[in-house]
């Protein structure tokens, strides 16, 4: 199992410092190191030699290292400026180590400048890069299917269920998203789904959804089976979609099944035919998945050569069993990496969906342009 978060970390007196780019060989190396900021950006430092400090400072002084070490200079938060500080010819030097988050962006800079010998850059930026491995698998697969979950839509603004900022911090999903709630506490059920429908209507698909729509159009993916009820894949332009858990903006009567408008539900009306309670056409905890949706997803995953699982904790059955059906490659892309996942995956890539898909999309365009030869 490979991971995007390789262990490139150096600890300086409790401050997390990552190697961003190391150039040259033993003894005479030029290194850009970085400290991740609370806002997700980086502060970069240039180091002209390693290991200068540890002998001269006490343990207590370790956190002063970056300020005191004359060979370590703070450059600032701008990557391009930081790279420029390595001298005009940094792209001609031999890369020894590159942080996984920067492999693709640095490779783009290097190929833009038509560097004559790309061998070492390719080795580190592409061959040793799980995301690029995935781009190659997507390019060669004849049948790729996606399983998406709530993490696919958090960057649109919709909270997911189980991560730190998810829905259920203050609410147990089993208490509200189930049939008993409709029958015994309709007020709670209605309030929860009214809020969710309004949230879905307030936001829209993000770059990641649009990239998946482009991939379907280009024939790079063949179907998306989603656990999401927001309908964003369809809005973004995907046609081969299975909404395993239904669609929150489709409304029916809980008793007689007659369809109704979303406005009727939001206005807390009852069924115009039998006066039963209205509800979204979603699969509640304890309910079965619709047969047609499950059968279609089953067929897709069974014949898949490549399965991409995106933004889901894989805790909800039976959707979490779909990746087991393929005999092809399986890839898990998520912001958090569970210690153990059943099934296990050939590749596990940690990151935010929008950025991962945007990078993959650039890699696919690069591969299909034929320029990587
Ligand atoms: P979940 O909340 O259990 O897991 C979501 C996962 O996505 C988490 O592991 C989280 O770390 C990850 N994640 C969050 N933001 C991310 C990002 N930007 N990039 C990458 N990963 C990110 O959700 P699930 O596994 O889909 O749970 C299943 C249930 O949640 C489904 O029944 C689904 O209907 C429901 N749900 C749907 C929506 C929606 O339609 N948008 C929203 C909330 C919950």
10: enclosing H helix or E strand: strand 9-12
On the question of pLDDT at 30 being above 90, the answer is: no
pLDDT band at 165; cut points 50, 70, 90: low
Closest by alpha carbon to 221, among 152, 148, 142? 142
Mean per-residue pLDDT, 55-67: 46
Number of H helices, E strands in the chain: 13, 16
Residue 216 Cβ inside 6 Å of ligand 1? The answer reads no
Catalytic machinery residues: 245
14 conformational bin, left if phi > 0, alpha if psi -120 to 50, beta if neither:
left
Residue to probe by mutation, ligand 1, list 161, 249, 356, most atoms within 8 Å of CB: 161
- Regarding the domain with residue range 136-369, which homologous superfamily does it belong to in the CATH classification? TPP-binding domain (3.40.50.1220)
Angle of the 353-369 helix axis to the 103-112 helix axis, nearest 10: 40
Where is average pLDDT lowest: 167-176, 183-192, 205-214, 251-260? 167-176
Give residue 60's pLDDT band: very low, low, confident or very high (50, 70, 90): low
15 pLDDT band, cuts 50/70/90, is: low
pLDDT per residue as tens digits for the range 82-112: 998 888 888 888 899 999 989 999 999 998 8
Classify residue 311 as left (phi > 0), alpha (psi -120 to 50) or beta. left
| Cis before 343? omega within 30 | yes
Kindly indicate the confidence band of residue 28, based on its pLDDT and cuts at 50, 70 and 90.
Answer: low
In contact, 144 and 328? CB cutoff 8 Å? no
For residues 110-130, give the mean pLDDT.
89
* Per-residue pLDDT at 257: 97
229 in contact with ligand 1, CB cutoff 6 A: yes
What is d(CA 256, CA 314) in angstroms, rounded to the nearest whole number?
32
- Tell me the whole-structure pTM to 2 decimals: 0.86
User: How do strand 42-47 and strand 30-36 relate by DSSP bridges?
Assistant: antiparallel
The residue ranges of every structural domain in the chain are 2-114, 136-369
Question: In the predicted model, what is the mean pLDDT of residues 196-211?
Answer: 96
pLDDT, position 340: 76
Other CB atoms within 10 A of residue 115 CB: 13
* Average pLDDT value for residue range 64-92: 77
Least confident range from 168-177, 234-243, 337-346: namely: 168-177
pLDDT range class, residue 49, cuts 50, 70, 90: low
Element (H, E) at 20: strand 15-23
Shortest-distance atom of ligand 1 to CA 161: 2
Of all atoms in ligand 1, which is nearest to the CA of residue 320? 25
pLDDT of 54 higher than 70: no
Please report which confidence band the pLDDT of residue 163 belongs to, taking 50, 70 and 90 as the band edges. low
Separation of CA 314 and ligand 1 centre (Å): 9
Q: Which segment of 40-49, 133-142, 148-157, 284-293 scores lowest on mean pLDDT?
A: 40-49
Contact between 353 and 310 (Cβ < 8 Å): yes
Does position 14 have pLDDT exceeding 90, yes or no?
no
- Please report which confidence band the pLDDT of residue 1 belongs to, taking 50, 70 and 90 as the band edges: very low
Q: Give the tens place of pLDDT for each residue, 167-194.
A: 554 677 778 888 999 999 999 999 999 9
**Beta carbons of 129 and 100 less than 8 angstroms apart:** yes
152 — pLDDT class (breaks 50, 70, 90)? very high
Residue 166's pLDDT is what? 58
Answer whether 312 contacts ligand 1 (Cβ < 6 A): yes
Whose alpha carbon is nearest atom 2 of ligand 1?
161
Q: Which ligand 1 atom is the nearest neighbour of the CA of 282?
A: 34
Res. 27: pLDDT tops 80: no
Q: Which of 56-65, 314-323, 324-333 has the lowest mean pLDDT?
A: 56-65
Structure tokens at 208: 């990641």
pLDDT at 12: 46
């Amino acid at each position: 199992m490979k991971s995007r978060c390789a262990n490139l970390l150096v600890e300086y007196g409790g401050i997390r410092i990552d190697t961003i780019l190391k150039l040259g060989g033993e003894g005479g190396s030029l290194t850009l190191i970085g400290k991740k900021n609370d806002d997700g950006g980086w502060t970069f430092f240039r180091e002209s030699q390693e290991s200068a400090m540890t002998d001269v400072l006490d343990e207590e002084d370790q956190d002063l290292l970056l300020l005191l070490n004359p060979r370590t200079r703070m450059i600032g938060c701008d990557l391009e400026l930081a790279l420029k500080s390595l001298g005009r010819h940094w792209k001609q030097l031999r890369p020894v180590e590159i942080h996984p988050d920067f492999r693709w962006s640095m490779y783009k800079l290097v190929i833009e400048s038509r560097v004559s010998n790309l061998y070492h850059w390719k080795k580190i930026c592409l061959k040793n890069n799980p995301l690029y491995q995935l781009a190659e698998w997507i390019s060669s697969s004849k049948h790729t299917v996606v399983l998406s979950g709530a993490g696919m839509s958090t960057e649109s603004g919709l909270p997911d269920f189980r991560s730190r900022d998810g829905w259920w911090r203050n609410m147990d999903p089993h208490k509200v998203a189930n049939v008993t709630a409709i029958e015994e506490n309709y007020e709670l059920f209605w309030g929860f789904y009214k809020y969710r429908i309004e949230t879905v209507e307030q936001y829209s698909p993000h770059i990641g959804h649009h990239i998946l729509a482009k991939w379907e159009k280009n024939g790079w993916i063949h179907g998306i089976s989603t656990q999401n009820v927001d309908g964003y894949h369809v809005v973004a332009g995907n046609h081969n979609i299975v909404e395993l858990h239904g669609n929150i903006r489709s409304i029916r009567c809980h008793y007689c099944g007659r369809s109704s408008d979303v406005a009727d539900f939001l206005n807390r009306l009852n069924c115009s035919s039998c006066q039963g309670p209205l509800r979204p056409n979603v699969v509640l905890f304890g309910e079965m998945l619709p047969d047609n949706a499950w059968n279609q997803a089953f067929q897709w995953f069974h014949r898949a050569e490549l399965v991409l699982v995106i933004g889901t904790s894989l805790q909800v059955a039976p959707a979490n069993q779909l990746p087991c059906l393929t005999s092809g490659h399986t890839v898990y892309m998520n912001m958090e990496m569970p210690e153990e996942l059943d099934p296990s995956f050939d590749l596990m890539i940690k990151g935010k969906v929008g950025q991962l898909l945007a990078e993959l999309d650039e890699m696919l365009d690069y591969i299909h342009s034929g320029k990587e030869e």
